[in-house]
Every structure is written in structure tokens, then in C-alpha cells.
Amino acid sequence: MHRVLTTCCFCACGCNLYLEVEDGKVVGVIPSKQHPIARGNLCVKGWNIFEFVHHKDRLRYPLIRKNGRLEEANWEDALGLIARRLSEIKEKHGPESLGVFSSAKCTNEENYLLMKFTRTVLKTNNIDHCARLCHSPSVIGLGNAFGSSAMTNSIAELAGAEVILVTGSNTTEQHPQIARFIFDALERKAKLIVVDPRRIALSKVANVYLQPRLGTDIIWLNGMMKIIMEEGLHDDSFVSMRTENFQAFTKHLEQFDLEQVESICGIPLEGLRQAARMYASVKRAVIIYSMGITQHVSGTDNVQSIANLAMLTGHVEQEFTGVGPLRGQNNVQGACDMGALPTTLSGYQNVADAGVRKKFERVWKCELPVAPGMTGTDMVHGALDKKIRAMFIMGENPVLSHPDVKTTRNAIERLDFLAVSDIFLTETAELADVVLPAASFAEKDGTFTSTERRVQRVRQAIPPIGSCKADWQIICELSSRMAYLMDYESPAEIMEEIAMLTPIYGGIYHGRLENRWGLFWPCPSRDHPGTPFLHKGSFARGKGHFECVDYRPPAEIPDDEYPFYLTTGRIYQHWHTGSISRRITMLSRDEPDAFVEMNPVDGRRLGVRDGKPVRVISRRGEITVGARLTEAVPEKMVFIPFHFHEAPANILTHDKCDPIARIPEFKVCAVRLEKVQ
Amino acid sequence: MPDELILNKEHLTSFLRKIAREHRLIAPVKNRYGDTLFEEVSCLDDISLDLESRPAMPPTHFLLPQDETLFRYKREDGQYYFSEVLPEVSTVLFGLRSCDLWAIFLLDMVFEQDFKDPFYLNRRSNTILINNPCLEPMKNCFCKSAGSGPFLTEGYDLQFTDLGDRFLVEIGRPKGKALVEKWDYFFVPATNKDKNKQYEAILEAESRFQQVVDLNTASLRFINNEVDETLWEELATRCQGCGACTYVCPTCHCFNIADRPISETEGERIRTKDSCALPGFTRLAGGHNPRQKRSQRIRRRFYHKLAFAKEKYHRSSCVGCGRCVEVCFGHVDMIRVVETICEKAEKRSSAASLQLGEILVNTGLISSEELKTALEKQATTGKPLGTQFIDDGLLTRDEIGRALWHQMNIPSTAETAD
């Protein structure tokens, strides 16, 4: 038996772990003790990560649809068919009719190659990935405010904070290692503020817990800032030296009525006052947020509002402070960094900038498309009215992960051609014309970038199973078949090209990642040690920008017909659409079925007992799930995790999006509940 | 051949190389990333043996793998065919710690007493255990409090005590003896001087513990129903249910059994590590879960370690290795829990040598006044307490040694493991 150190493929904490390999099979896992985040432990998903690799459902050979059925095929035919169909459709309907989903589960090298393929071969900027569904508002909001969208500070700095404000993040379940640093901080007498519509585990150890109504974050954020201003707790010198647009902001804030905190948010003003004082009166305070903030029609405004709060109190540009958007997927940070986005090339270099395009064109030796691409949500909508006619999807499952499953499925089915590369036959792959079997994280080399911007190695533990290929090899072969030669010996060679073209990754080479626990970007040159916290002494954009933000209610709120709020999310044991985690014995043993969390009072009203089936109905559709009665949710609000294909929460959600970031409002919609007789 | 021998340190690699040629050798190795793990060692040349740090996972990981095939099945012509998979690799575990060895004795009892588990026992009977007692307890170690170390008088096949430039090698069981006899040219008989040096090392190590954990009182409190039950609710707010405390624990042994299809016609019955920290562990077929709440699960784990094991095996099944202390996300660990249970939160680290004093007073070797005087003297001389007694001519090494062995109280059931 031997062991191979690699990076976990579940969340973006970036734990390093050893895969135990015996006779070419992955048979176990051990966390690294020295790794600064893993620190000798993993979450329950990490501890069981080895099992899916050899699952019998793994795709082992390419599939081509013949007479309506997916049938076994060889690589030659499968790649040939994709190349031919993409070329035909591009020829006939123009490059703008093609769309690409890259994957936050894949490596940086693969994301880079796919975005290169999209722009050089398909000649479109229509590339996006699931960051659209989780942190696109952070990319835009923090980009506007600070000049960079990533976590401003490193995870370990949390342990040194005096006050931590957690909002819209169920940290113990979704980023367990980050919660561990929060507990470390609490050990050192730090104070914790939790603001979340659900009474999450962290709320029980919080010094202040506030429970706002869904989708009312701007109210309490503005309220908190107004209190801070009124009580003179803001950082005058920081604001005047380091930020801009402050006067307009204060003027705007003056009009805010603190009454709304109680009337709209449902938070007692006194509680908010306590939180405001707590957060503003110390030097080292951190804000942690996640999808509870971003997945709203006002997602970008929410993020901007959080940035306002941090700037107002001078809690940025310093160690042990900052704003931490916790990224979901193992490499969602990296997929954004690599430019798997419709408007930026790698390193957030704007496609619209002719100088930038010229730089890439010189290396890529071809002309790049200028028109901005479509976002993921818009591509799905575009497929409905035939603006998008063909898609290549790498390692994503939009049929379950996008809102309003019926519409999404309908859109995907309307495509003239769909190719999917994945490790399992997902709900999306089932609709494809060609399915390519991809290698899992245990079968390939590369890098992932964790939520704290730490770029780390992924190391091959076993050869690809069946006839699987790593996605970077798939892209190379496909590209070469479409008259654009991609010839890389290894992911290390791809990373050399990334470093050359991407200033923030300028000093990141595989060799340099080997004998340390990765490097934090920005790392502009080979001798640069990396940057654990951003904006040291100065924001990336120069001065921090205050934005005036107004409350906008959610797109759909409960009424007489649909009287309950529904919010969706994830649970500890499972991962996204469940294609991996539900195939792991221990995880599916612990959480086998879909459920709806509802308050016991509502349970009594409906006559539903714990564990009994309930029909949940929205304007889009209905699902039947078991009731889980818990006081974690307030009355008149229910929570459903979206992991379960047999009862997809996203049948119920709507596809109204934030106007700027185009993120759907997964966190709020209206439903009706019925007892199943 | 005498039972106590000397192996010159420069011959250690040569000896291990011989072993590795005939057995699967597993030893603690520090890898290039700085992690120390028990690794299979086939070539002694490019590895760095690490006898200083605590390997991240216990060696019981090799006796109870995370994922193990019990048998394979095949369906052919409407019939099922089964083939059992019994592990039969002759293994030498080198560089064990007394705590981990104790854990193996406990597992022996679990897998042998009520139901004989062929998979465990096959591995076990093919395993030779070489103990390396710790001379320097680590920060969170408390084997001394747990009565499982730092030295053992029996149970091992071989015990290697580090005496600086050489190892004092003690033969415990026939399998150990056979190993030494086979390559007897590496060894010379130990002298009295070597023995004395070992005693000194024992005394020194005994005095260096930073953690004193009163497992006994905690066990009694549990058994007598004196534990404040609100404790579990409080711990449940910090536990995240990762299961790591059970995965890294050398005495945890719970498993789940499942059938895993390999193809349409073939499959295997597997057992995978399970954990009482997980919600599905006690869920019954009808869906009812007697330990639905996290607080109930935490209580159960500590109850099993401290009370259940004590009643069934006459000792707690915590061996004081300290691993759970270092991995828990929310600081729900044995040291804290025992301290809280005992309502004696004050650390007695500086008074570690006091415990030796207590033992000596309890066994009647010295009086309380003599202890007091020795402690005062020790404060100025800085000598370990035992050495202070010897230098003052109050006790001999043998007397102290006997008192300590007596305290360790190894039960006879460990004998049955052979």
C-alpha cells in the first residue's frame, strides 16, 4: 500500500489528504496533520472521499446517442462527432450560438484550457460555470468595492479575530474547517455574531444571534451602519484616507429609517444595536458570508453592502480583518481565476480590453472574439429561444443545479447538440448526444485554488479507470480535431502558460507548489512568496468604493395561495446534486432521503408528524418529501436541500435573477404545503 | 538466549532490512511533507524513520482497515458463488507506542471474547508487535493517567528502549524471540548498567507528563450516574459530527457492513469504518433512532470509553494517546470531558511528579513528610523526583520500578492474544 498526498475535491476549504492506494485501487484516506487547514482532520465527506472513485456507476467509455439511446462508443467516434457537430452549428448559426459550461470541480489547468478552447476554437465568449449560481455577486460586488473579489484574508487569520460576523453561511456544515477556526477564536474569547434566517448550529454559540426574514439583508446591514454612524463608531481616518464616495453614501444612509429593521427584517433593534457595537468597537473584526447573501435578486447589492460595512469600520486592509466570501466548490475560486467567465480572461483581465486581447492573441496565435459572452443562466434561457443551439458541458449538472428544473430541462432538450464530459451519468448527461467519461480527481494531476486563494497541487494516485481521460486531455484532443493544435505534455506545462499570461498567477509553477502547502495569489513572480491577505495598505483598485444601496424585496414572496417562504441549500453529508456523495455508502446511509425542514408549530397546523410525507407546491411544480420538524426554521418558512434528484428542490425555485450578476434567487420563493394522505 | 539484549543503533537499519525481506514491515515514517504516518516499508534506504512524533493514524488502522472486503460474490446461471477473502500477510509493526499497543490488547478482547472475528484475528495472528516506549511524552499525551504507558512490562513481542546509542531489547513473546534468534548476530546480552539506564529513562519519562487526566474518577462518576447531563447539550453545540474522534482513536472499532456491486453480476460484501458520532449509526430499520440527538451520541461515545469498557474489560478503553485532543473541530475531547466530568478543571501539569509521589506514598514506600521534603529539595536541585529519592538514599531503583509496574496493572487477558 502507498499513499498519495492530494487536495480534497469537495468544498473550497482546500484540505490536503492522503489517498491510500492498494493494487491500483483507492481504499482509504488520511488527513494531513501538517497541512495548515486540514490539521489532521476532515469533515465527514472528506473521511469518506475514497469510495466513489471505483463506483460501479462510473462512466468507463464514451457514449453516443443512437436511435434515442446512449450507446457505448469509442473515443475516436465520440470526439469526431463533437468536433463535427460543433463546427457545423458554428458555421450555420454563428459562434454566438455555442455555449460552454466549465467546471468548478475541475482543475485550474482544465478550466484554463476550456476557456482557451471556447475563445480560440469556438470563437465565442459564451463560457461560464457554477460560480454564476453561488458567488457571481461577490465577483462583481467586491470587485467594485475593493478591486478584487476573493476572500480578503486567509482562513487561519480567523483564529486571531476579536469579533466574527457570520451571515448567510452555515459554516459548520458547509465549510467545517473554517468553522473550526471560528471555534479556535471563541476559545480565545472572541465574540461571535450570527445573522441567519435559520437557527444554524453556530447560532447556539453566538454572543448575538439575529434572525432576519428571508431576503431582507440590506435592511439590517443599512441599519447596522446607521447605528454605527449615529454612535460615532466608524473609522473616520480610514474612511477619509482609503475610500471614495463616502459623502454620497452617508447622505443616502441618513434617509434610512431604523423602524424598518423591526418592521421589514423582523429583528429587534436592540439586538442589532448590540451587534453593531460589538462589530464596530474592536480592531480585528471579520465578516464571513456565503450563499445566504448572494443567492438573491439583490445579491450584488447585498455584497456591496457588506463591503460598505467593512470599510465604514476600517475592517479591511489589515491582518485578522476583512471580508470572506466562502466559496463552495473545491475549485470555484480557480475556475473564476482562470477566466471561465463570459467577460474576463484568466486573472480577471477584461475581454473588452484590446490590449489584453492582444497579449493573449500573441501567445494563442489567433484572433479572439470581442463581443461579451452570455452568462450561464442566460445561456439556458437562450437555449429556449434557440439563441444557443449547442453546448459543451464539462463536469456540471445544470438540470438539477439551475433553478426551475422544468424550464432548464426543457431548454437543454431544445439544443441541437449537447456534449457532456463527467464522471457519472448525471441528469444532464442523460440528455446529451455524446457523453465523455472523465477521470476523477484521484486520476489526474493539476491544481485547485481554495477559497482563501491558496493554489495547491492535485496529484494523480491511480491511472484513469476504464478508458477515462482527464478533462485537460479531452479538451486537447477535441481542440486538435477542430484545427487548433493543443499539445501539452502535462498540466505543469499548462500552468507555465497560465503563469505567463496571468499576472496574479505569474509566479505559480507546479514545482514551486511541491514543498510547501501551496501559494496564495497574487503571486506575480517566481521569487514572490504569495499573498495571504489582500489590499495590504491599499485596495487593489486604489481606494475602496462606497455604493449607495437600497432594499429590494425578493422577486416572489408568500401570499394567500402560497403562504410559506421556501429557502434551499445544502446539508453536511451531501454535495450539490449528489452525483458523488450519494454514491458513498456512509454518506447516503446517514442522509438517504430528501426532506423539508419545518417548524413544529406549522407541522401541528398541517397535521403532519415528523418523518411523514408532505407535498410542497410552488408556481413551477411540486415535490413530495418527508417532514423534518425542527425549530431551526421559524414558522411560515421551510428549508429543502437540493441534493436529491428524486425530489429536486429546484423544481420549486424560480429563475428570476439579480440584474447585474445574473444569479438566480435560490434562497427565496413562495410555496404551499399539503399533507399527503 | 537471554531475555534482555542490546542492539547497537547502527544495526537497527540492518535488522529492519532483514525483517522487511521476509515480512510486511510497517514503521513510522516522516514523509517529505512533514507528516509522520505508519507506512509499509519495503526499502529502508530512502525513508526517514521517525520515532519522535506520534503517527497521525493509529497502527490499528492496519488491523481494521477503513474499507475491507469480507467476501466476493458472483451470479452465474441463476446461482450465487461466494469466495471468502482472508487476510494472511505476515506483518511486523515496528515503532509502536505503549498506548497503541494497549489499544491492540483491547481490540483483541473485543474481537475474541463474544464472537471470534476471523478477519481481525487472522491479521492479528500474523502480526508481530515491536514496542518503542516514549521517553518524551508529547503535549497531549496521557498514557500514564490511562495506565497504558509509557513503558510496558509485557504484551509486546519485542520492546526496544532507546538508551542513546543503543536499544535495550526485551523479549516478550515467542514470536519476538524467534525474530531475534533468527538474526542473533546483531544482538549482545544486556548488562546491569543497561538495565539501570532503562530505569532512569523510565523515571525521567514518568516525570515529564504535562497532562494528568483522571479517567478513573470520570469512569466512577459515570457508573454511579453522577454526571451532570447538561454537559452533553453543551458539547453538542461544538461537535460537528465529522466522526474523526472515532477514526483516529486506536480503540474504536465499529464498522458498517454493506454490499457493493462491482458489475451487474459481481459484487463484494464490505465493511467500512463506522462511527457512533454519525446519525445513521443507530438508526433502526423502521426509521426510529434511539440516539437521534447529537448530545445523545456524544454521551454514548464517552459512556462507552469510560464506563462500558470499565465494566466489561475492567479498564477504560481510552489509552491516552492524545489523538482526539488534537483533531476535534470544536474541542470536544477526552481531556476536556474528563476534566469537566470531574469538576476539577485545574491543570496539574506542574504537579506531574506529584503523582509519582502519590503512588509511592500509597504503596507505603515513603511517608507524606518524606515526600514533602523531597519535593522541596527537588525544587532547588531540579532533579526528577525519583532520582531525588535515590540520591537521598530513601529508595532503590528496584523499589520505585516495582511500585510503578504495580500501578500499571496489566490484566491477564492480554496473554490470550498469542
Nearest to A27 among B66, B241, B262 (CB): B66
Contact A511/B at CB under 8 A: no
Say if CB A121 and CB A484 are below 8 A apart.
yes
Tell me the DSSP string of B14-53.
HHHHHHHHHSEEEEEEE-TTS-EEEEEES-STT-EE-SSS
Q: What is the ipTM of this complex?
A: 0.91
**Domain containing A224 — which CATH number?**
3.40.228.10
Give the list of residues 6+ apart from residue A595 with CB closer than 8 angstroms, or none.
Answer: A625, A626, A627, A628, A640, A641
A40·B32 Cβ contact <8 A: no
Give the end of a domain, one of A326, A348, A373.
Answer: A326
Per run of 10 residues, the mean pLDDT along chain B (length 418 residues) is 92 96 96 96 91 94 93 94 90 97 96 94 96 94 93 94 96 96 96 95 91 90 86 92 96 95 92 94 91 95 94 93 94 92 49 68 81 78 73 80 61 37
Domain residues for the domain of A116 are: 63-131+330-512
Report chain A residues whose CB lies below 8 A from the CB of B280: 586, 589-591
A654 in any annotated domain: yes
Say which residue the cell 514533602 belongs to: B372
Say if CB A450 and CB A156 are below 8 A apart.
no
A531 in any annotated domain: no
A224 in any annotated domain: yes
Say if CB B98 and CB B150 are below 8 A apart.
yes
* pLDDT confidence of residue B414: 36
Instruction: Specify whether A391 is located in the same domain as A426.
Output: yes
Percent of chain A with pLDDT over 70: 100
In which region does residue A386 sit, left (phi positive, over 0), alpha (psi from -120 to 50) or beta (all else)?
left
**Domain containing A578 — which CATH number?**
2.40.40.20
Nearest to A41 among B36, B242, B331 (CB): B242
Instruction: Specify whether A43 is located in the same domain as A94.
Output: no
A32 in any annotated domain: yes
Instruction: Specify whether A31 is located in the same domain as A125.
Output: no
Cβ-Cβ pairs closer than 8 A, A with B, add up to 114
Angle at A196 between CA A193 and CA A202, to 5 degrees: 55
**Domain containing A108 — which CATH number?**
3.40.50.740
Per DSSP bridges, beta strands A622-629 and A519-520 are unpaired
- Which residue in chain A is spatially nearest to B24 when comparing CA positions? A1
Instruction: Specify whether A393 is located in the same domain as A492.
Output: yes
* pLDDT confidence of residue A88: 98
Q: What is the pTM of this model?
A: 0.91
Instruction: Specify whether A213 is located in the same domain as A105.
Output: no
Distance CA A246, CA A548 (A): 9
Per DSSP bridges, beta strands A595-598 and A637-641 are antiparallel
A47·B34 Cβ contact <8 A: no
Instruction: Specify whether A294 is located in the same domain as A160.
Output: yes
A540 in any annotated domain: no
Say if CB A382 and CB A93 are below 8 A apart.
no
Report chain A residues whose CB lies below 8 A from the CB of B40: 1-2
Q: Quick one: how far is CA A531 from the chain centroid?
A: 22
- Which residue in chain A is spatially nearest to B242 when comparing CA positions? A44
Query: How many other C-beta atoms can be found within 10 angstroms of the C-beta atom of residue B317?
Result: 25
Instruction: Specify whether A94 is located in the same domain as A117.
Output: yes
A522 in any annotated domain: no
Contact A199/B at CB under 8 A: no
Nearest to A30 among B37, B243, B331 (CB): B37
In chain B, what is the straight-line distance between the N-terminal and C-terminal CA atoms, in Å?
21
- Which residue in chain A is spatially nearest to B275 when comparing CA positions? A586
pLDDT tens sequence across A606-664: 999 999 999 999 999 999 999 999 999 999 999 999 999 999 999 999 999 999 999 99
B261·A56 Cβ contact <8 A: yes
Q: Which of residues 230-289 of A touch B (CB under 8 A)?
A: none
Cell of residue A599, nine digits: 417548524
Nearest to A34 among B34, B39, B260 (CB): B34
Tell me the DSSP string of A451-484.
TTSEEEEE---SPPSTT-B-HHHHHHHHHHHTT-
Instruction: Specify whether A311 is located in the same domain as A200.
Output: yes
Instruction: Specify whether A149 is located in the same domain as A251.
Output: yes
B260·A585 Cβ contact <8 A: yes
Report chain B residues whose CB lies below 8 A from the CB of A42: 242, 244
B278·A180 Cβ contact <8 A: no
Per run of 10 residues, the mean pLDDT along chain A (length 677 residues) is 96 97 95 97 96 96 97 98 98 98 98 98 98 94 93 94 98 96 96 98 97 98 98 96 96 96 97 98 97 97 98 94 94 97 97 97 97 96 96 97 96 98 98 98 98 97 98 98 96 98 97 93 96 88 96 97 98 95 95 97 96 97 97 97 96 96 97 95
For chain A, what is the domain count?
Answer: 4
* pLDDT confidence of residue B408: 52
A523 in any annotated domain: no
**Domain containing A19 — which CATH number?**
2.20.25.90
* pLDDT confidence of residue A312: 97
Report chain B residues whose CB lies below 8 A from the CB of A33: 35-36, 56, 326
Residues in chain A, total:
677
* pLDDT confidence of residue B224: 85
* pLDDT confidence of residue B346: 37
B65·A18 Cβ contact <8 A: no
Say which residue the cell 484554463 belongs to: A112
Residue A118 DSSP SS3: helix
Per DSSP bridges, beta strands A163-167 and A191-195 are parallel
* pLDDT confidence of residue B348: 36
B8: closest CA of chain A, how far (Å)? 30
Give the end of a domain, one of A284, A310, A326.
Answer: A326
Cell of residue A658, nine digits: 439579480
Nearest to B327 among A18, A40, A205 (CB): A40
Give the end of a domain, one of A303, A326, A349.
Answer: A326
Instruction: Specify whether A490 is located in the same domain as A430.
Output: yes
Instruction: Specify whether A355 is located in the same domain as A303.
Output: no
Instruction: Specify whether A582 is located in the same domain as A670.
Output: yes
**Residue-averaged pLDDT of chain A:** 96
Q: What are the CA-CA distances from residue B314 to residues A213, B154, B215, B305, B311 (Å)? A: 55, 18, 13, 11, 5
- Which residue in chain B is spatially nearest to A593 when comparing CA positions? B287
A88: closest CA of chain B, how far (Å)? 38
A559 in any annotated domain: no
Q: Tell me, what amino acid is at A111?
A: N
Say if CB A271 and CB A208 are below 8 A apart.
yes
A5·B33 Cβ contact <8 A: yes
Report chain A residues whose CB lies below 8 A from the CB of B330: 180, 183
Nearest to A611 among B36, B287, B328 (CB): B287
CB-count exposure of residue B78 (10 Å: 0-12, 13-18, 19+): exposed
Distance CA B387, CA B385 (A): 5
- What's the order of all strands across the beta sheet hosting B67-76? B79-84, B67-76, B266-273, B255-261
Residues in chain B, total:
418
Contact A176/B at CB under 8 A: yes
